């Protein structure tokens, strides 16, 4: 039986993944649009702020810039904590219906802001909404993806997320040339309402996660979803049979997870060795990614290019090109991740980012404030080299790894913890960045260089590889017992497993080899 055929990506599976990516686009655009806002002179004028370092209100301006990023990251932190509970209690689908209306209101508040307080409230609510979405989307995608292509499918979250960055950047460039001062900064902010609105319209048509349905004793609905996910007209017999095997594995593992969860509390995440190792890996993944300095470099990229001597619309154009490279890099990441593996890519990415940032710090120290074009151009080159390593090896990879290492009954809480770490890291780094760049300049890069040099050996020593394994089988890498193995079975073992599955018709249903169809058992 061909494993490749069994795990073909079906149209239904791909359609769900791409529909969920509207949540990724919402996060990317909502987060990124503030970077282009900082390049719009009309925004500074409207709120009585200044870009002149010698002006009396310059310190106040830096505080406001830091505050709007801190509000977003703070909201994201609470959104990530909330989704850990909501995904288990409400389900994946209903939690989407909580996040999207909040995102729409947040965009409206920012685009229609009449004072800085209203703008900051919009950023806080926007952060809360995308804190939910950035956890929920890869979680949902990982639970509907076949093992062999899960890396590619879940990586689309990172691809579209960075597409949101790129879209926001180019919209900012286009609006910079508008002669209408209000349109120049209000339109890009209002546009962030569009993506969650589309998500809100499509959500009723999405199926619920089969693993969540099994955890909540809704077996018949779970089987309906699994059979549709693997329904392929090209090889119906094989795909239907693989659906039977995967569903059997899900069922058995859910029962084992339920038994293991008896008597557990939130503290078990940190006290049980196999869970604790996952939490450490999740922390190091997200903290390590943020500690490369990625969001500081991107969020203040317009200001960095201005510091390198570029004027007018050119900093906005360079920032837009920067995230376009990141978007292409994320797609390359999605193609590599199931071949090269998660851990190898992380190691390559962290090393490349660290080396690039070393050179960037050197160029900034030597040439910022001068008119030496060759040195300034080299500074831009190393920023682009940096984002190439980050996009191709790290960005989408972090979401894939953190979404798949936790067992079914704690996956939402584990991934919520991972993204909470991300937002806490961004609060610390982004809040300090304007003042740090103003006070110590290029030396702020040294923090990220040192932290990344520490993270690289930790990842190499501590992280188990997860490529090619089903979500249920990954537990074995962390010391848990796996109820059923499907990966790398011999033909004899698979025949024996098929006999067991067919003998348990009450669960998944009855498989008919002649027709390739499965009749669901009575609930």
Torsion sign over Cα 501, 505, 506, 508:
positive
**Cα dihedral across residues 155, 159, 165, 168: positive or negative:** negative
Q: How far apart are CA 512 and CA 509, in angstroms?
A: 10
Measure the CA dihedral 410/215/159/398, to 10°: 20
Q: Exposed, middle or buried, 481 (CB in 10 Å: 0-12/13-18/19+)?
A: exposed
Residue 149 has a pLDDT of: 85
Share of the chain above pLDDT 90, in %: 38
Closest CA to 145 of 246, 277, 3: 246
Give the C-alpha separation, 282 to 276, whole Å. Answer: 10
In this predicted structure, the answer to whether residue 316 has a pLDDT above a threshold of 60 is yes
Tokens 């290029």 appear where?
442
Q: Tell the CATH topology of 7-478.
A: Growth Hormone; Chain: A; (1.20.1250)
Residue 406 DSSP code:
S
pLDDT band at 110 (very low <50, low <70, confident <90, very high): very high
Quick one: average pLDDT of 176-196? 91
pLDDT reported for residue 238: 53
Q: Tens digit of pLDDT for each residue in 346-392?
A: 999 999 999 999 998 888 777 766 666 677 678 788 888 999 999 99
Average pLDDT, whole number, for the chain?
Answer: 84
Given a cut of 80, is residue 251 above it in pLDDT? yes
Q: pLDDT at position 237, please?
A: 52
Compute how many other C-beta atoms are within 10 angstroms of the C-beta atom of residue 302: 25
Q: How confident is the model at residue 304 (pLDDT cuts 50, 70, 90)?
A: low
Cα 393 from Cα 215, distance rounded (Å):
33
The contacts of residue 381 (CB under 8 Å, 6+ apart) are none
Confidence of residue 517 (pLDDT cuts 50, 70, 90): very low
Please tell me the pTM assigned to this model: 0.81
How high is the pLDDT of residue 511? 38
The DSSP string of 30-90 is HHHHHHHHTT-HHHHHHTT----TTSTTHHHHHHHHHHHHHHHHHHHHHHHHHHHHHHHHT
Whose structure tokens read 């499918």?
153
Residues 6+ apart with CB under 8 A from 423: 73, 74, 76, 77, 80, 127, 131
- Name the pLDDT band for 520 (thresholds 50, 70, 90): very low
3-state secondary structure of 512: strand
Average pLDDT over residues 204-227: 90
pLDDT score recorded for residue 426: 78
CB atoms within 10 A of CB 84: 24
Tell me, what's the pLDDT at 514? Answer: 36
- φ/ψ region of 293 (left if φ > 0, alpha if ψ in -120 to 50, else beta) reads left
Paired with 511 in beta bridges are 518
Q: In the predicted model, what is the mean pLDDT of residues 78-82? A: 91
pLDDT (tens digit, 9 = 90+) per residue, 23-42? 999 999 998 888 788 878 88
- Compute the average pLDDT of residues 295-321: 71
Structure tokens at 471: 């979500």
What's the pLDDT band for 264 if we cut at 50, 70, 90? Answer: confident
Q: Which residues pair with 517 in a beta bridge?
A: 512
Asked if residue 324 has pLDDT above 60, the reply is yes
Site of tokens 């978007």: 327
**Nearest by Cα to 260 from 407, 82, 428, 478:** 407
d(CA 179, CA 299): 25
pLDDT digits (tens, 9 = 90+) for 379-434: 788 888 999 999 999 999 999 999 999 988 888 888 898 888 888 887 778 777 77
At residue 509, the pLDDT reads 46
Cβ distance 429 to 422 under 8 Å? no
Instruction: Kindly state the average pLDDT of the residues 425-449.
Output: 79
| 499 or 351, higher pLDDT | 351
């Amino acid at each position: 039986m061909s494993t490749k055929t069994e795990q073909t990506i079906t149209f239904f599976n791909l359609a769900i993944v791409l529909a969920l990516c509207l949540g990724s686009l919402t996060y990317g655009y909502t987060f990124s649009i503030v970077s282009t806002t900082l390049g719009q002179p009309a925004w500074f004028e409207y709120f009585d702020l200044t870009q002149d370092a010698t002006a009396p209100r310059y310190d106040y301006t830096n505080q406001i810039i830091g505050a709007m990023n801190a509000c977003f990251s703070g909201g994201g932190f609470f959104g990530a904590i909330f989704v850990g509970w909501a995904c288990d209690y409400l389900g994946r689908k209903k939690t989407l219906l909580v996040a999207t209306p909040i995102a729409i209101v947040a965009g409206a508040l920012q685009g229609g802001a009449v004072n800085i307080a209203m703008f900051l409230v919009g950023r806080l609510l926007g952060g809360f909404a995308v804190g939910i979405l950035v956890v929920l989307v890869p979680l949902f995608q990982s639970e509907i993806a076949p093992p062999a292509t899960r890396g590619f499918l879940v990586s689309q979250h990172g691809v579209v997320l960075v597409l949101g960055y790129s879209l926001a950047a180019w919209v900012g460039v286009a609006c910079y040339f508008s002669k209408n001062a209000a349109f120049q900064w209000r339109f890009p902010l209002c546009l962030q309402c569009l993506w969650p609105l589309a998500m809100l319209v499509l959500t009723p048509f999405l199926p619920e996660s089969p693993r969540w349905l099994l955890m909540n004793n809704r077996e018949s609905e779970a089987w309906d979803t699994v059979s549709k996910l693997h329904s392929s007209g090209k090889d119906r017999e094989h795909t239907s049979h693989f659906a039977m095997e995967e569903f059997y594995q899900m069922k058995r593992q859910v029962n084992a997870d339920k038994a293991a969860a008896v008597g557990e509390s939130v503290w078990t995440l940190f006290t049980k060795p196999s869970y604790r190792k996952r939490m450490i890996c999740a922390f190091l993944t997200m903290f390590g990614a943020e500690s490369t300095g990625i969001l500081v470099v991107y969020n203040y990229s317009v200001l960095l290019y201005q510091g390198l001597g570029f004027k007018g619309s050119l900093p906005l154009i360079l920032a837009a090109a920067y995230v376009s490279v990141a978007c292409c890099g994320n797609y390359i990441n999605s193609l590599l991740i199931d071949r090269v593996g998660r851990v190898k890519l992380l190691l390559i990415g962290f090393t490349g980012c660290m080396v690039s940032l070393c050179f960037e710090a050197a160029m900034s120290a030597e040439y910022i404030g001068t008119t030496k074009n060759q040195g300034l151009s080299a500074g831009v080159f190393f920023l682009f080299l940096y984002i190439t390593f980050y996009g191709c090896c790290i960005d989408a990879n972090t979401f894939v790894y953190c979404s798949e290492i936790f067992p079914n009954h704690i996956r939402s809480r584990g991934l919520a913890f991972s993204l909470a770490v991300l937002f806490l890291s961004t609060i610390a780094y982004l809040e300090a960045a304007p003042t740090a760049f103003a006070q110590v300049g290029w030396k702020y890069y040294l923090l990220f260089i040192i932290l990344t040099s520490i993270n690289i050996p930790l990842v190499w020593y501590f992280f188990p590889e997860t490529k090619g394994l089903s979500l249920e089988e990954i537990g074995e890498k962390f010391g848990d017992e796996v109820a059923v193995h499907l990966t790398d079975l011999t033909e004899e073992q698979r025949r024996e497993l098929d006999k067991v599955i067919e003998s348990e018709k009450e669960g998944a249903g009855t498989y008919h080899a002649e027709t390739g169809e499965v009749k669901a058992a009575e609930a």
